[in-house]
Structure 1
Amino acid sequence: MGPYFKSITIRWSDLDPNFHVRHSVYYDWGAYVRMCYLTETGLTPQLLLKNNLGPILFREEAIFKKEIHFNDNIQVTLQMRSATASGDRWNLLHELKHDNGTLHAIINIDGAWMDTKTRKLTTPPENFLQQFLAMPKAENFMLL
């Protein structure tokens, strides 16, 4: 199975004064694609709320390779790079590629699940865990 992805067309509001995509937009796209994946696989915001579960990020790093401009079409992919067997901690990878295959950016995410009531790290319930760990895996995926 290949990576999960969403296609995005660059809007005028995505640009900075240099007429390329603002750095913060890359992170917004990553968050959008992650939540689309979770929702489309049944891990909806309502299920998160019901289980007092929320994703938290320890690190979010963008590596910018090539400019993206107004009206370009890109794909933002999502793959899991690593996860603990309990699914409580994970590393995700986004690649932002132009329709022609050019790699424009890489986003690395280190995260975990938090109990939204106790405000402490937690392990997700088994049914949630199975869905989450079914995420497409990066070529060098590692179970920690």
Structure 2
Amino acid sequence: MESFRHTIEVRWSDCDANQHVRHSAYADFCTHARIEWLRSHGFGFEQFQAHAFGPVIFKEWTEYLKEVKMSERLTIVVAISGLSEDSSRFRIRHDILKEDGRLAARHEVAGAWLDLRARKLMPPPAALATIFAALEHTSDFEQIDSKPAA
């Protein structure tokens, strides 16, 4: 399994009145890292448009562990913490590391893929499922049901 790491620098606009990273910036950092991971494997915005589908996030949460301030460089490690057999549903974990390697925050998203024409959930194209299958899985990885109970 391959790992994916993306490094960012905290900008002025990422900070709040307490002079540290605002809570919603963590989600933005992680979204950017996910997009860079997919793009680096040849699955960018154009492929989503061509297949007329996109991700739907059902739930996201962040655990804050260390304060992060402006101009710090952070490394975001992206890993799969859950995936359905057909890759239609996923959970992605992002470990946000400070320069010294300490875990500053952990952000996780749970979602699925939406067919933009039919407006219903769908499995992703095979190329995207392969990218998901190849990414490092967390130690507590779980198989997700494709169709959870209502």
Q: Quickly name the TM-score band, shorter chain normalised.
A: over 0.9
Deviates most, 6-15 or 107-116: 6-15
Q: Is the 8 A contact 2:8 2:74 kept in 1?
A: yes
Deviations 1:5-41 (A, max 9, x none): 1111112221100100011110000100000111111
Determine the structure 2 residue equivalent to 1:109: 109
My pick for the range that moved more, 72-81 or 120-129, is: 120-129
Q: Where do residues 112-127 of structure 1 align in structure 2 (5 Å cutoff)?
A: 112-127=112-127
Give the distance between the partners of 1:25 and 1:83, measured in 2 at CA: 25
Please state if 1:46 is matched with 2:46: yes
Determine the structure 1 residue equivalent to 2:130. 130
Deviation at 1:71, TM superposition (A): 1.6
Mapped to 2, the partners of 1:66 and 1:80 lie a distance apart of 23
* Equivalent position SS for 1:27: helix
Q: Secondary structure at the match of 1:8?
A: strand
Equivalent position amino acid for 2:93 in 1: L
Distance 1:11 1:124 in 2: 34
Which residue is equivalent to 2:67? 67
Q: Secondary structure at the match of 1:107?
A: strand
2:58 counterpart of 1:85 = no
Q: CA RMSD in A?
A: 1.3
Other-structure match for 2:148: none
Q: Secondary structure at the match of 1:56?
A: strand
Runs (4+) off by over 4 Å: none
- Normalising by structure 1, what TM-score? 0.93
Q: 1:2 to 1:134 in 2, by over 3 A?
A: closer
* SS of aligned partner of 1:19: coil
Measured in 2, the distance between the counterparts of 1:78 and 1:86 equals 20
Which residues of structure 2 form unaligned runs of 5+? 145-150
Q: So what's the TM-score if we normalise by structure 2? A: 0.90
Tell me how many residue pairs correspond in the alignment.
144
* Code of the aligned partner of 1:81: S
